[in-house]
Structures are given as C-alpha cells and as structure tokens.
Copies of this chain bind each other. A is one copy, B any other.
C-alpha cells in the first residue's frame, strides 16, 4: 500500500509515525512545503520571549528520524493538484501516485484587510519564519511599543512575550473581552486584571482601522492615533482547503470528514487544522485547530487507513495556557455561547485556594462550571488560578468526555495532601453551587 500525506506539520508528521508503527511495509510519503517536519506552533511565543532558547529546538524530530523509519520525505515541495481519477498528487516536483491520500494541509494566519497591514514591522505569529522575522526586526529596530490585534491565545501569549522583552504592550480586541471563545466575561476579567498588573493595556470592542508608517509608527483606533513600532496581527487562523476544494472534495470552513476522518472521497482522509470535527456539546461540525486534536486525528486516521474502523470522538477543545503567574484552562461551552445558541445551562462558580488554609503558599483559584439543564451534563469549564489549573481542567474534561453529570462532579473522589490540594476540592464545591441551582 502506498500512502501519501500532504502536509508535514503536527498532523502529517504524527500520521506518518503512527502509520509506520501499525505497518512496517507500507510506502509512506510525506509532501511538505517547509524544510523540516513537525514543530509546535504553540511554542513560537516562548521562542520569542526567549524561554525556549533556540528556535530550531521546537522541531520535534530531525528529518533523519523519519527517514530511519522509512518514511519518504518530499520536503520543500508544493502539492499543486489532486487527480482523483488517476489517484495522483501533482507537485512542483512531479507526480506522486497514492492508494490512500491524507490531507494535513493545516491552517494559515488570517490577516484582516486593514490599511497598512503589509507595512514593515507588522507580523503574524504562526510559523518559524514569523519568529525569525520578528526577532530580526526587534534586533534591528529595538521597538518599544507593541500593539497586538486580537486577544485570543496567540495574541495574549505574544503580548506577554513582548512585555517580557521590555516593551509597552497594548492589546486591541474587537469583541467584549479577552479569550472570547474560551472564557466568559467574568473569568476573562480576572485574567485581564493580572495582565494589566503586569503592564499590558487593553482596548475592547474596537478595531484597528489603519496601520501608519513603514516601518510602522502608529495604529489608528477610531479617531485616536496610538504610537506603535511593532504590530502583531493575531486574529485567528483559516483552514487550508484550496487543494481539497479544487479536487472537488466537500468543504465548509474546513474539509468535511465523516467520523472515520474520510473526506467525501473514501480514499482521501483529512486531519488536523484543515479538517472539520464534531463539537462534543452541540454535535455540529466545527474547527478545533488544536495540536492535541491534530495528534488524535492522526492516530485515528492511521488506524482507519489500515482498516481498523476507529471513530474519532467529538471534541471539547480542552486548552491550557500560562500567562505570567496565571494558568488558564478551559473546555467546551461558555455561558455566553450557550446563551447565543439557546442552550439552557446551570452554572456553578467558586473561588477557592489551591492548598488547605493552614498550609503556606496556597494561591487563589477560580472555577466556573457549565452544566446543560436538560440532562445535567457537564458541558464546559473555565478555571483561572495560580497553580494546578491543568490538573483540574483535565479532570473535568475527562469527566465530560465520559458524559459526567453534576452529581458525578459533586461526589467526585479527589486526592488530598496538605502541600498539594485541599480536602474539599474547589471543583467539587463549584459543582455543588450548580447543584443547588438545579433544584
């Protein structure tokens, strides 16, 4: 069997490795535009800040690692077209025949059509090349005032990096609060306050209408001109679906796949940022675009290419980040989104401490749980705290993935030790708050 993968990012690289584990003999060919195989785009802000010392370190494995496993690499190669009749990928370096094709074409930074967005000193933060350019620019121009457009994860992580490099930083977000798809306003406020204490400013409900100067000197927000000598555009990503579309495959915002990750052509799979998945709460098609989702899709697609019939489960988009001294973890439905989509929810909130009161060093932790009224199921959670947020959001996400109800969280068996966690965990207290409102 000859399996061709288009895309050398997280999804494509992991697919190749999983496939090789499952079958020692199949021909596995990866076509990729870049010089290397997968690296973690989530690591880019930390390279920028210097926490990860070397950009090259974020490349997970050297090319030789794949080649040793007899994965054939066609890097710095562009797939131009898919001829589904002949089962051939047409690239700028010739034709590549396939039995099974895996589209792992990823996503690209979305850049809104702001006047001056192509000026010098305006960047996105999606690729290793982006980091190289920003670092070179910082080296050369020594910018002092950064404006970040977009208060999503990458925007905020970029803002923190700039701040850590000593710049004044302003974040501008069109919506009402930061991390608008991950948090509700009440939780976002806690994060905002922490970032403001660390010297990052915010403007919400407004957009940048113009970027002035090349190299950039200022941005225009409404009538106001604000000095800036570096601009980061972090307004989300778009799935790369052109190749699939051109090949006549079914696409929406992403490539449409069934639960076995097959596109409308059963010999062609799509995985990672370019492909749609099912939302675990609504059951509707959505884009996940998380690295962890890409890895799981790669695993499932590899199983299915070899005839295993594994279903890819709907996603909750469990996510975590660290911004200065705060950890922020979320998954599933926010209260705001539930309201927009007409889903009746019951919310439980609790502010506690990460350690028992008598043990020194406990940090505040805010827990917000969202249950669906109809079936009492946990459909979302938001946690903001000084430590051990990851463990709590993972615990809650695992529960939600297994269909847990409010009672399951209230009576959850937790692990307690004085230096680590309280006897009665904040997540169970938050669930109790919700349970009372159910009655």
Interface residues of A (CB under 8 A from B): 10, 40, 42-43, 46, 51-53, 57-58, 60, 290-293, 295-296, 299-300, 310, 313, 315-316, 318-322, 327, 329, 331, 356-360, 388, 390-399, 401-404, 408, 411-421, 423-424
Contact = CB atoms under 8 A, between A and B. Distances in A.
Contact of A394 (B46, B360, B394): B394
29 contacts: A42-B418, A43-B358, A43-B359, A46-B359, A51-B359, A57-B357, A57-B358, A290-B416, A292-B414, A292-B423, A293-B413, A295-B423, A296-B413, A300-B411, A316-B413, A319-B417, A322-B417, A327-B420, A329-B415, A388-B390, A388-B391, A391-B394, A393-B415, A395-B398, A397-B414, A397-B415, A398-B399, A401-B412, A402-B403
A87 B270 CA distance: 70
Nearest first, the 10 closest Cβ-Cβ pairs linking A and B are A391-B391, A402-B402, A320-B415, A57-B358, A318-B415, A394-B395, A43-B418, A320-B417, A395-B398, A322-B419
B51 A390 contact: no
Nearest to A45: B418
B419 A46 contact: yes
Contacts of A310: 411
Given A40-B358, A58-B358, A416-B290, A401 B408 contact: yes
Given A397-B413, A398-B412, 10 more contacts: A10-B423, A40-B418, A42-B416, A51-B359, A292-B416, A293-B413, A295-B423, A320-B416, A322-B419, A394-B394
Contacts of A58: 358
Instruction: Identify which of A295, A300, A415 gathers the most chain B CB atoms within 10 Å of its CB.
Output: A415
Contacts of A10: 423
A57 B320 CA distance: 34
B356 A299 contact: no
What is the oligomeric copy number? Answer: 2
A394 B415 contact: yes
Given A358-B58, A359-B43, A319 B415 contact: yes
Contact of A390 (B57, B402, B415): B415
A52 B292 contact: no
A423 B40 contact: yes
Contacts of A60: 357-358
Nearest to A409: B398
A304 to B, nearest CB: 13
Contacts of A321: 417, 420
A393 to B, nearest CB: 6
A133 B399 CA distance: 44
A198 B275 CA distance: 51
Nearest to A296: B411
A43 B356 contact: yes
Given A390-B421, A408-B402, A291 B416 contact: yes
Instruction: Identify which of A43, A392, A394, A396 gathers the most chain B CB atoms within 10 Å of its CB.
Output: A394
B402 A399 contact: yes
B418 A52 contact: yes
Nearest to A427: B394
